[in-house]
Structure 1
Amino acid sequence: MRRSNLPAELNRFVGRDAERAELDGLLAEFRLVTVVGVGGVGKSRLAVNVARASQKRYCDGVRLADLARLRDPGLVEHALVEALGLTDQTSRPPREVLVDHLADRTLLLVLDGFEHLVDACADLVRRLLCGAPGLTVLAAGRRPLRLDGEAVLPLPPLSDEDAVRLFTDRAVAARPGFRAEEEGEPVRELCRRLDGIPLALELAAGRLPALTVEQVLSRLDDRFRLLTHGTRGAPARHRTLRTAIGWSHELCTPQERLLWARLSVFAGPFDLDAAEYVCGGPQLPADRVLDVLGGLIAQSVVLREADAAGSRYRMLDTVAAYGAEWLAALGDAERVRRRHRDWYMGLATWCELEWFSPRQAEVAACADGALPNLRAALELCLETPDEAHLAQHMAGTLWFYWVGCGRLAEGRHWLDRALAPGSGPGHEEARLKALWVLGYVAILQGDATAAVRALHECGERAARGRNALALAYTTHRLGCLALLSDEVPRAEELLDGALASYRELGELNSQVLMAQVELAMAKVFRGDLESAVALCEDVREVCEERGERWTRAYALYVLAYAAWTRGDHGEARDLLAECVGIDHAFHDLVGLVLAIELLALVTASEGDPAEAAVLQGAAGSLWEAVGPPLFGSAYFGAPRALCERRAREVLGGERFGAYVAEGGRLSVDAAVARALAGRAGGASAAPADRPRDGSAPAPGTRKPAGSPTGKGGEAAG
């Protein structure tokens, strides 16, 4: 994991020398510091700038959580989990995950834009500071958190000198060749009129390609009286900022104003296709959106940026809030919000279909980039009880993201809400899908009770409605639950039945292939290694044809186990290296921890018990974020038990424990790098390290040293 997720500065930070020094001093003395001020005064920019400069103080890094576009207080904890780069797939509350992760770390957490969620944030920050003595929180918002021990830094507007410097810097970028000294008094007058508010100054500078400073001043003066009558009792500077944004709004063409208002429904970055669909309509045809968007970009109303999913656009929160007020005044907010929801419903559907394709990595990046907007769409679905079925459909459709990209906790949040009693009438097909997806998520979180409840309801409803596909998915997931519960014969029966139903229905996707891999695992546990290999080779072949990588990783895991039992440690290591790489790329901790545990056994069999112990320690740490270690399964725990016994015999208990502790301190990224580094040579495996028939030990069986099956002797190699 990177030490910081702070955004790169796209332009120079100007001025604020005294405030930077004061904030830096407060961070050295207090564990909670809050920068407060009006919108647009530069709170966020100052906090990020000082956080970046003070990174060396925090050995575990600096992380930023931007909460400005979040609306649901219940998502604050999920947002912090995301900001910290955690992938927790358990059913533990996110707050518990955060406290456990931060407990022994020295880290600076920057919270930005929290004021509309102040109660939820204050409660969470209090708990985190109490449970993590090495944590420092730097918050930036319009009001303090009001917690004991909080140091508050009110941020005033820029001084006259800094305001002129900032305006000049941005003016030169907007109009190369601009010289403030030639403009003289008009520049100083403009900065005074805008009260030294950075956002207002930047908006004004953005007009210089079309206007002179004198023209900017005259137009601003014309609009001042018109737009200063804001909310009664609002601070003067707040009204001035509103004036500056309103003045910029007035200078836009009618179509630019209309697009500005409609773009305000986006909760995060958006692409051109989304803008054309959501914002096209009366008075603004979709084919005109690109040209009009270019005008807003030129005026700094919309920012263009690049991410893993390509070119994206976004609006500053204050600018978007102004647009939202205009959209409401136009009486068009409900229509545009529904178009926004429909677009992201369609995007979720497209992603689900494309997940089973060579574009799987692109789909993961797309869903990551769209997450704030997907949340907004889900929230709108849940606002109207009569549309609960839309929330159920969307939350179910995103199964690939919740499960395949390490978002189990957030998926559980939305699925539980969509299926909650009183959520309104639903369409049966949407409810069935949400139920089996909830069962799937709960299984992987180790919450068998919730899984059984959801799958039982799904099975009963599917049987009554004769929905064969939903019944197949229910049977499949019950088979998965039986497998993880060491009920192997039942798992094999259920998975066989699910696969037969899939074939009859013509269903083929990542889920179907996963059922085949899970059946292969059941056969491994029963000692039928030949059948397991055949199943997984078939999965690998289909994955290669379709470009599917996520399920492929699980098939590689089973094939690596087979290679180890044959004594082919080189092939096992190669297969597991590919498996680890795929799982890590998709943030799939379940697959990753299983692969690292098996790789530890391969490493021990190659004659390097110390490195095997390190890998076991790393895997043990990962299990904390996955759920019950090895799902509480003796079958899944067999490689770990054998590896530990052999490494402990060679190293002794004390040295073994030290190496395990070393691995436990590794971050996820470091553990993956360690696993992929491999070994430079190594002794051959002792023959007794391999079972003859490929079977795993029976649950609860004590095995003589040197034989995982309790049979002793050499395996055929």
Structure 2
Amino acid sequence: MRGPQSPGPWAYVGPPLELDAFVGRSAQLAELASVLGGSRLVTVTGAGGVGKSRLAGRAAARWASGDAERGAGRGWVELATVRDPQLVEYAVLEALGLTDHTSRMPREMLLEHLTGRRVLLVLDGFEHLVETCAGLTAELVRRLPELRVLAVGRRPLGLAGERLFPLPPLDEDEAVELFTRRAAEQGLPVAGAPEVRELCRRLEGVPLALELAAGRLRALSPDQLLRRLDDRFRLLTGGGRDALPRHQTLRTAIGWSHELCTPAERLLWARLSVFARTFDLEAAEYVCSGDGLAARDVLDVLSELLAQSVVSREETPAGPRYRMLDTVRAYGADWLEAAGDADRLRRRHRDWYLGLATWCELDWFSPRQREVAARVEAELANLRAALELCLTEPEGVHLGQYLAGSLWFCWVGCGRLAEGRRWLERSVELESGYERSRLKALWVLGHVAILQGDTVTALRTLRECREQAERCADATAAAYAEHRAGCLALITDDMSGAETLLRSALDRYREIGELNSNVLMGQVELAMTRAFQGDLPDAVRLCEDVRGICEDHGERWARSYALYVLAYAAWREGAPARARKLLGDCLGNAHAFDDLLGCVLAIELLALVTAAQGDPAEAAVLQGAAGRLWPSVGLPLFGSAHYNAPHEVCEAAARRALGDTRYEECVREGSRLDRDAAVARALGHDGVRPLGALPAPRGARGREGAGKREPAASPAPEGGRTAG
């Protein structure tokens, strides 16, 4: 997710395997783009599989490219797999690339971020959430005059001023062209075959039906396809007697394709329906195997479903992944329910993602940290489904608490505080009978609340966690609760209290053999208390120690905060060039992890360093850029006099050098930069730096050594490797 910004360039990559409904759609595309230009709310309606999403995506791309000079942005909100109406607004935030670390409601955040910005919002697959989407759309359109909404679904939103754009199936010639093109892509020329035209006529021009039929051409001739379809047409027609013919045809085509599958293919099709959005091969092999389908056979059966266009493959930053179109998934889900196997498969799905979260939490403290971030991003829809199942089944509540707590690195390290807080609060409100799971969720909730600037909730939650952990003799939860209490004292300027709590927490971590990114952050926070109290050498020793451990383990996220403290010390010691180099590395890493707090802290300090190097105008621009980001982090600089000191020193120096009028002009210039642009400006180049390479890990450990490290000899209180 990107930070609080006007949505920048957004390239539409249509829903995978969405059919090429643009054979013969040029006139409708032009018409929709024209309607979109003159209406603030347009809804494309039509049967499933008729090509609504692809047409909407092309129209959105055309609209935004024509409006590029006005800075138009777009966001594609995929709602088909969103089941909880409360997650709709979070899905919109995610689609627009908006990160907000505060405890504000998502609608408030949307209204604030979109005010005055020219944006096209596409709501795709909203029909099962029509009431929620209608309410949200009505308010956004009413309060944001520059906003346009393009809704895509099987029914209208039912709002005043809504312009409907019904999308019919392809006509006969267009259908034949699409079918023959798909055949040619498989090296099977069928152009001119009389059976093709009859087949397309029977399938009534529904692109999904044509695609499924074309996927069978490797095994069956057009004549065989036609005869098999003719045999099954009446039998497989779905829906009630009053259903639209094209709805019946679509279900017929899917059912017919299903009938042509082998028993193993049907079985896998049904079981794959438990996945939300995309999945990988390992997940499919675990979740879908057993009871008639061996794990070793899943790949071969999946390959057949790929060849038949039931499943599609896509490349992602997390590696190759698979998905089914929503209509195809829904058909499989019906069969899974009919077989009485849905509950068992949902629990296998839940168990896989519990295991995945556990593994990723351990792997976060390793050279694979970036891969973990990409993996969790790709699996968010499935993790949400697992959380939902856990928290709606009384016997699974403790698993939901454990899962919400284990994903702390996603909520905190990957810019998803608001969503994390929702799951954490929901989980700790439930009785599970497993206190340790709830305690983990409690200290993570306290951590999230601190980062959102909600000190009241943080204090209450952490006190409860500490007291209950002591009663239960849960040494791990007690250490984490004390650590986060120390962090809370730090940002509220209680340096003495923070130092006491953090030192005690680090001692507890050593006693239980705990070493991970959280532990290292505790040492960085201790270093900051020392720096704020004027002991820079001690702060440097502590952070150099963290830096070394991070390089041993390939850890980058906690390392970026250690670099921030080292840069702060360098500035205080009169070495701005060294501080700038450290901050460049810090900011590049924080931005790559979508860590909004890490970004804004680095930009604030870079502004001060820039002023110290004789460029007050650029320093003011960076302060303006940071000022735009801070409201989405929480109270600017936490309301802390210590954290705020660099900002005040920089502002005073820049105002003296520039004068008030010029200073304010530069701040306004910076406030117009979105986060990508602000980071690029701060780093001094046009492109945002990718996640920086680290030195080769010194004796990097494998998975077995990544979670634990033998503590070094206990140092004096001033420093040393206190984290490990």
TM range (shorter): over 0.9
Shift, 1:166, TM fit: 1.4
What is the correspondence of 1:153-168 to structure 2 with a 5 Å cutoff? 153-168=165-180
Query: Distance in 2 between the 1:90 and 1:5 partners?
Result: 28
1:325-344 matches, within 5 Å, as 325-344=334-353
1:68 is the counterpart of 2:80 = yes
Unaligned runs of at least 5 residues, structure 1: 680-717
Q: Secondary structure at the match of 1:139?
A: strand
From 120, 124, 128, the counterpart of 2:140: 128
Q: Determine if the alignment matches structure 1 residue 640 to structure 2 residue 647.
A: yes
Provide, for residues 68-89 of structure 1, a one-character-per-residue CA deviation record: whole Å limited to 9, x for no partner: 1111111111111111111111
Q: Would you say the 8 A contact 2:11–2:61 is kept in 1?
A: no
Asked if the contact 1:479–1:494 (Cα under 8 Å) also holds between the matched residues in 2, the reply is yes
> Which residue number corresponds to residue 254 of structure 2?
245
Q: What aligned pairs does 1:459-498 form with structure 2 within 5 A after superposition?
A: 459-498=466-505
Give, in whole Å, the separation in 1 of the partners of 2:343 and 2:306. 25
Shift of 1:425: 2.5
Residue 4 of structure 1 corresponds to 10
Counterpart contact for 1:387–1:424, Cα < 8 Å: no
Q: C-alpha displacement at 1:678, in angstroms? A: 7.0
Q: How many angstroms apart in 2 are the aligned matches of 1:662 and 1:49?
A: 33
> Residue 180 of structure 1: CA displacement?
1.5
SS for the counterpart of 1:636 is: helix
- Report if aligned partners of 1:386, 1:424 keep a CA contact under 8 Å in 2: no
Name the stretch that deviates more: 654-663 or 220-229.
220-229
Q: Using the alignment, how far apart are the partners of 2:228 and 2:33 within structure 1?
A: 39
- 2:684, 2:432 → 1: CA distance? 54
For these two proteins, the number of residue pairs brought into alignment is 674
Counterparts of 2:12 and 2:528 in 1: how far apart (Å)?
A: 42
Distance 1:424 1:456 in 2: 19
Q: How does 1:310-325 map to 2 (within 5 A)?
A: 310-325=319-334
**Within the alignment, does 1:180 sit opposite 2:191 as a pair?**
yes
Q: Distance in 2 between matches of 1:564 and 1:541?
A: 21
Cα distance in structure 2, aligned partners of 1:120 and 1:396? 28
Counterpart for residue 572 of structure 1? 579
Give the drift of 1:232: 4.4
Q: What are the equivalent positions in structure 2 for 1:253-402 lying under 5 Å apart?
A: 253-402=262-411
Q: Distance in 1 between matches of 2:72 and 2:499?
A: 45
CA distance in 2, matches of 1:311, 1:405: 21
Give the TM-score of the pair, scaled to structure 1: 0.92
Deviation at 1:164, TM superposition (A): 1.4
Q: Deviations over 1:270-313 (max 9, x none)?
A: 11100000000110011100000000000000101110011111
CA distance in 2: counterparts of 1:463 and 1:229, whole angstroms: 60
Q: Give the AA of the match of 2:85.
A: P
Equivalent residue, structure 1, for 2:703: none
**C-alpha contact (below 8 Å) 2:190/2:196 kept by paired residues:** no
Larger RCO (CA under 8 A, 6+ residues apart): 2
Q: Which moved more, 1:277-286 or 1:463-472?
A: 463-472
Instruction: Tell me if structure 2 keeps the 8 A contact 1:408–1:445.
Output: yes
d(CA) in 2 for partners of 1:386, 1:369: 28
CA contact under 8 A between 2:621 and 2:670: conserved in structure 1?
yes
AA aligned to 1:293 is L
Instruction: Decide which of 633, 636, 646 is 1:629's aligned counterpart.
Output: 636
Shift of 1:460: 1.4
Match of 2:58 among 21, 29, 49: 49
Q: Give TM-score scaled by structure 2 length.
A: 0.92
> 1:688 — aligned with what?
none
Q: Distance in 2 between matches of 1:337 and 1:386?
A: 14
Question: What CA distance in whole angstroms lies between the structure 2 residues aligned with 1:289 and 1:74?
Answer: 35
Q: Residues of 2 paired with 1:582 and 1:604: CA distance? A: 23
Candidates 663, 671, 688, aligned match of 1:664: 671
1:92 aligns to what?
104
Structure 2 SS opposite 1:536: helix
Q: Which amino acid is the alignment partner of residue 7 of structure 1?
A: V
Query: What do the CA deviations read for 1:306-333 (whole angstroms, capped 9, x no partner)?
Result: 1001111111110000000001111111
> Residue 189 of structure 2 aligns to which amino acid in structure 1?
F
Equivalent pair of 1:577/1:676 in contact (CA under 8 Å): yes
Secondary structure of the residue aligned to 2:23 is coil
| Structure 1 SS opposite 2:642 | coil
CA offset at residue 147 of structure 1? Answer: 1.3
CA distance, structure 2, for counterparts of residue 190 and residue 627 of structure 1? 60
Return the alpha-carbon distance in structure 1 between the equivalents of residues 679 and 467 of structure 2. Answer: 42
CA distance in 1, matches of 2:259, 2:188: 27
For 2:626 and 2:99, the matched residues in 1 are separated by 14
Partner Cα distance (1:16, 1:126) in 2: 30
Amino acid in the other structure paired with 1:347: L
Equivalent position SS for 1:138: strand
Match of 2:509 among 502, 510, 521: 502
Q: 1:611 aligns with which of 580, 594, 618?
A: 618
RMSD (Å), alpha carbons: 1.3
Alignment partner, residue 553 of structure 2: 546
The farther-off stretch of 384-393 and 57-66 is 57-66
Q: How far apart, CA to CA, are the structure 2 residues paired with 1:272 and 1:243?
A: 29
Partner of 2:641, secondary structure, is coil
Runs of 4+ in 1 over 6 A off after TM superposition: none
Could you say which residue in structure 2 is the equivalent of 1:197?
206
CA contact (8 A) 2:37 2:63 kept: no
1:404-445 residue CA offsets vs partner (Å, 9 max, x unmatched) = 00000110111111122xx34231110000000000001101
State how far apart, in whole Å, the 1-side matches of 2:213 and 2:129 are. Answer: 31
1:533 aligns with 2:540: yes
How far apart are the structure 1 equivalents of 2:428 and 2:188? 60
User: Which of 437, 454, 477 is 2:461 aligned to?
Assistant: 454
Would you say 1:31 and 2:37 are equivalent positions?
A: no
Question: Percent same amino acid among aligned pairs?
Answer: 64
1:229 CA drift (Å): 4.6
Higher mean alpha-carbon deviation, 444-453 vs 551-560, is at 444-453
- 8 Å CA contact 1:6–1:62 kept in 2: the answer is no
Give the residue type in structure 1 aligned to 2:623.
Answer: Q
Kept after mapping to 2: 8 A contact 1:439/1:477: yes
> Could you tell me how far apart the structure 2 residues matched to 1:465 and 1:177 are?
68
- Aligned partner of 1:682 in structure 2 is none
1:171 Cα deviation (Å)? 1.7
Q: Which residue of 2 aligns with 1:700?
A: none
Which stretch shifts more, 227-236 or 669-678? 227-236
1:231/1:454 CA distance change after superposition, 3 Å = farther
Between the aligned partners of 1:230 and 1:104, the Cα distance in structure 2 is: 45
8 Å CA contact 2:238–2:252 kept in 1: the answer is no
Deviation for aligned residue 1:132: 1.7
Aligned equivalents of 1:670 and 1:335: distance in 2?
A: 48
SS at match of 2:643: coil
Contact 1:5 1:63 in 2 (8 A): no
1:233 aligns to what SS in structure 2? coil
